[in-house]
Amino acid sequence: MGSDLGRCWSSIETPALLVDLDVMEATILRWQTVFDTAGVDFRPHIKTHKSPAIAACQVAAGAVGIAVAKVAEAEVFAAAGFRDLSIAYPVVGASKWRRLAELARTCTLSVNVENELAARGLSDAAVAAGSVVRVLLDINIGSNRTGMRPEDAEAMGRLIISLPGLELEGITGYRSSTFPGAAGRSPADVGRDEGELLVELAEQLRAA
């Protein structure tokens, strides 16, 4: 980003992505202000740009860290200097668990977990690497894409707490506006329901 600053448009090879920095920076600040006003930490998902330079602008504006989709993305952003990363999707497979655990030695790293196999695999990898992996319980709250049933969260949480190398950080879930029953509803209403479901479940887990 920035290598073509000052160049005439006609001299830029196409296809090319051109970013209006003023608009981008205003958008970043506007969303950060929304979260700051609500008193909520903001962790943007970088899947829309996958750019360390843009992510750095988001962190500089106040984001507590970034979310990525897979281990390979976490490795790229950790190498770029980011030190608070969340992999917002369950990670499957021994080789990826090992890479994730090794990466957790260099930064604060959390990952979604939805089943016992992944929890135990991550624990074994973290112990071998001498690291601590933070875990978010991935709850299926309507999208039927990933996640455990809400009623299984307490048992999974107790398992995570008992496993070495893991630290239970919280819960997460994704419903989106495409889940059954969302037709005709606004994204704001769907998102509000999603948040209320997760808050209710979190309170139940704290009381357990």
Domain ranges of the chain: 19-64, 67-207
pTM: 0.87
Question: For 67-207, CATH number?
Answer: 3.20.20.10
Question: Residue 1: helix, strand or coil by DSSP?
Answer: coil
Nearest to 65 by CA among 50, 47, 45, 51: 45
Provide the strand spans (E) within the chain: 66-68, 84-90, 108-113, 133-139, 166-173
Q: How far is CA 22 from the centre of its chain?
A: 26
**By CB neighbour count within 10 A (0-12 exposed, 13-18 middle, 19+ buried), where does 186 fall?**
exposed
- Give the separation between CA 135 and CA 114, rounded to whole angstroms: 10
pLDDT in tens, the chain (208 residues): 455 566 677 888 889 888 899 999 999 999 999 999 999 999 999 998 999 999 999 999 999 999 999 999 999 999 999 999 999 999 999 999 999 999 999 999 999 999 999 999 999 999 999 999 999 999 998 778 889 999 999 999 999 999 999 999 999 988 766 665 666 777 778 778 888 888 988 998 888 7
